[in-house]
Amino acid sequence: MSRHSRAAALGLAIATTFTVTVTPAVGLGLPGPYQDADEYGDVVITEKRGLPTPQRRSIDLGDVRVLQDEPNRQVELVVQMRKVTDSKKFDQVVTIAFGSDTVGGAVELSPSPSDRRSGTAGWFEDGGELKRCRGLVTEILDTRVSRTTVPYRCIPDTPVSVSVLVTTEPDRRGLPWSADQLRSDGTYQLRPAAQ
């Protein structure tokens, strides 16, 4: 299993406005923080019954950003989709997987209402222990944008590739009704490198 596949598998297994200081990683010869956009209209609808098509298409990804907040030693994951749901009949689940030849991991979050609006992050190095953060809180910034804050300790400090998967699911488990994926080229410095 490749490192990126392990990272994606970990992200699924751990099922779990913008005022920031951006560290000038590019000035240090490192890749910049992550920002990418997905084209609208590319949600994959499954044959599973039980959720109307407009709710299935609510996860259509727009912009995804990882913003470094150096003073607070955390990153902000900002995800834009067609519509952040206020329904308790299904969950929108976002998995941001990252990896390289030496590290892998993911952040899983949900902008769904009430107590289901939570997340988990974790990563590992070759031969190392899993570093995990639970109970991450997702804030809804408007009807299309959510933000989740992740402590630096749960994000690797080396350049990584990034992929984003968003699904509609019953109670954050089971087969999805729909999915949208964004795979980005290159590598990104999600947090400042350790000094």
The pLDDT tens digits of the residues spanning 134-175 come to: 999 899 999 999 999 999 999 999 999 999 999 999 876 778
Q: The domain containing residue 126 runs over which residues?
A: 3-183
Structural domain includes residue 22: yes
Question: How high does pLDDT run on average in the chain?
Answer: 82
CA distance 85 to 90: 9
- Domain presence at residue 191: no
- Tell me if 108 is assigned to some domain: yes
End-to-end, the C-alpha distance of the chain in Å comes to: 32
| Residue at 167 is within a domain | yes
> For the chain, how many structural domains are there in total?
1
**What is the reported pTM?**
0.81
Domain contains 109: yes
pLDDT tens digits, one per residue of 32-63: 688 898 999 999 998 888 899 999 999 999 99
Identify whether 193 is part of a domain: no
- Three-state SS sequence of the chain: CCHHHHHHHHHHHCCCCCCCCCCCCHHHCCCCCCEEECCCCCCEECCCCCCCHHHHHHHCEEEEEEEEEHHHCEEEEEEEECCCCCCCCCEEEEEEEEECCCEEEEEEECCCCHHHCEEEEEEEECCCCCEEEEEEEEEECCCCEEEEEEEHHHCCCCCEEEEEEEEEECCCCCCCCEEEEEECCCCECCCCCCC
